[in-house]
Amino acid sequence: EPLIDVQNLTKVYDLGRGRTVQALDGVDLHVPQGQVFGILGRSGAGKSTLLRCVNLLERPTSGSVRVDGQDMTALRGAALRRARRGIGMIHQHFALLSSRTVAGNVAFPLEVMGTPRAQRARRVAELLDVVGLGDRGGSYPAQLSGGQKQRVGIARALAAGPKVLLSDEATSALDPETTGSILDLLRRLNRELGLTVLLITHEMGVIKRVCDSAAVMHDGRFLESGPLPELLAAP
Ligand code: ADP
Ligand code: ADP
């Protein structure tokens, strides 16, 4: 079974007064363990909705979402929170806590999980080393460059030891050179930790640089999907 297995997913947003938007219209997505999978599409295509359905930040209207063998839609409350630890997420605008240090941001999910202090400190130091910020633990987000902020976001997303990383336009706010270095980091984490990455982007360059496979999304559907060389060769 693929690590991420989405079948016939639909999502209809209720806008009130009888108006609705169909953001997902029968999406099938199968991502094997160890892959970097990209979803390419314009604004409004449904990419973000799909990503948020994978970790159940958004509840699908119908269809199934299985991650690491677990039926995510069947989970609620504490069981859902536990399953989400297996799924890290990074964001376009980093979503860091500005009042906390870099180390404090990375420590946050471990605090929520109740990881003992000494173990937490070791893990935070290790994570900061992994993303190349070993000497910045005491800095505040405002003192960092965009690329450094995203490295903090990545370290925080990895804190609970997830098998899957969801990337929501993680490089869209960065210049091309910084984008390259963040994508290289994701690729390294994929190779070294076996991390499975599902990313969404509106940039073909991102797909070409890191993805093993990709899908092109439009109006809540996949127009085409497959391994990169074949996808790029398609007419
Ligand atoms: P993308 O990430 O590709 O830009 P989205 O998933 O954000 O696409 O949006 C897909 C469609 O769903 C759009 O028409 C958008 O306006 C709509 N949409 C997204 N989120 C919501 C929401 N919370 N409430 C209502 N409509 C939404
Ligand atoms: P905050 O005050 O922002 O909540 P802290 O500075 O108290 O964050 O640190 C949170 C966690 O990170 C603690 O577990 C602490 O041991 C660890 N930590 C603090 N400073 C560093 C650092 N420079 N490098 C690595 N880990 C650190």
- The Å distance, Cα 46 to ligand 1 centre, comes to 6
Nearest atom, ligand 1, residue 58 CA? 23
Q: What is the pLDDT of residue 108?
A: 97
Tell me which DSSP letter residue 73 carries: G
Looking at the CA of 58, name the nearest ligand. Answer: 1
69 Cα to the center of ligand 1, angstroms? 27
Q: What is the DSSP letter of 21?
A: E
Q: Indicate the DSSP class of residue 11.
A: E
The ligand with the least distance to the CA atom of 48 is 1
Q: What is the pLDDT along the chain (235 residues), one digit of tens a residue?
A: 899 999 999 999 999 999 999 999 999 999 999 999 999 999 999 999 999 999 999 999 999 999 999 999 999 999 999 999 999 999 999 999 999 999 999 999 999 999 999 999 999 999 999 999 999 999 999 999 999 999 999 999 999 999 999 999 999 999 999 999 999 999 999 999 999 999 999 999 999 999 999 999 999 999 999 999 888 887 6
Beta strands (DSSP E) in the chain are 4-16, 19-31, 36-40, 62-67, 70-71, 87-91, 164-168, 196-201, 213-218, 221-227
Assigned token pair, 156: 């925080």
For the complex shown, is ipTM > 0.85?
no
For the whole model, what pTM was predicted?
0.92
The answer to whether the CB of 207 is under 6 A from ligand 1 is: no
Pocket lining: 48 vs ligand 1, CB cutoff 6 Å: yes
* Confidence at residue 235, expressed as pLDDT on a 0 to 100 scale: 67
Residue 184 CB contacts under 8 Å (≥ 6 apart), including other chains: none
Task: Calculate how far, in angstroms, residue 13's C-alpha sits from the geometric centre of ligand 1.
Answer: 8
The ligand 1 atom nearest the CA atom of 14: 25
91 CB-side CA count, 13 A:
7
pLDDT confidence of residue 231: 86
Residue 23, ligand 1, Cβ within 6 A: yes
Mutate to test the pocket of ligand 1, among 13, 43, 53, 201 (most ligand atoms within 8 A of CB): 13
Q: How far apart are CA 217 and CA 44, in angstroms?
A: 10
